[in-house]
């Protein structure tokens, strides 16, 4: 199975220059908590989560007008739609991440794979291994 077979294609993304308040509204309106951030050429340069907004903006009492690029995570986990799903799973386990962004040959976002997507298609041993590996991060409080 390939990453493109599993990825959600109706993704929400944002520009790094957008205000965090605008992205928070988009998250709310689309019911998502994870958004890839792109630069002027459309390449993925980061991600922003609802948790990032709570910890890096609200908890610091920062301006809702500040740009996403000032609070986004810059370490982006990516894969290609034609990669084997096992490749994405391995990367998610290695980096203790529950989501990976699928990008095209120009590094533009074309989909997202979450841990729940992996669990849906790989019921059994492998999804349990991926889940245990990723959630170890939660137990450590990282």
* Model confidence band, residue 120 (pLDDT cutoffs 50, 70, 90): confident
Report the distance separating Cα 69 and Cα 115, nearest Å: 25
CATH of the domain at 7: 3.10.580.10
Question: What pTM was estimated for this model as a whole?
Answer: 0.84
Using alpha carbons only, give the angle 5, 8, 9 rounded to the nearest 5 degrees: 95
- β-partners of residue 47 are 36, 73
Q: Comparing 115 with 112, which gets the higher pLDDT?
A: 112
Is residue 60 scored above 50 in pLDDT?
yes
Q: Comparing 47 with 123, which gets the higher pLDDT?
A: 47
Using alpha carbons only, give the angle 136, 38, 53 rounded to the nearest 5 degrees: 50
Helix (H, G, I), strand (E, B), or coil: what is residue 54? Answer: helix
Domain that holds residue 121: 3-140
Q: Comparing 141 with 25, which gets the higher pLDDT?
A: 25
Split into its structural domains, the chain has a count of 1
């Amino acid at each position: 199975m390939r990453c493109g077979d599993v990825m959600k294609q109706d993704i929400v993304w944002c520009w790094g220059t957008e205000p965090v308040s605008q992205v928070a509204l988009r998250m709310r309106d689309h019911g998502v908590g994870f958004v890839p951030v792109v630069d002027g050429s459309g390449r993925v340069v980061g991600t922003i989560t609802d948790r990032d907004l709570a910890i890096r903006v609200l908890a610091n009492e920062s301006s809702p007008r500040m740009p996403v690029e000032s609070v986004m995570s810059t370490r982006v986990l990516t894969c290609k739609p034609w990669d084997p799903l096992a490749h994405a799973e391995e990367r998610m386990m290695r980096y203790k991440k529950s989501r990976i962004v699928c990008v095209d040959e120009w590094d533009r976002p074309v989909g997202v794979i979450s841990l729940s997507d992996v669990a849906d298609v790989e019921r059994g041993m492998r999804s349990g291994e991926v889940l245990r590996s990723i959630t170890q991060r939660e137990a450590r409080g990282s």
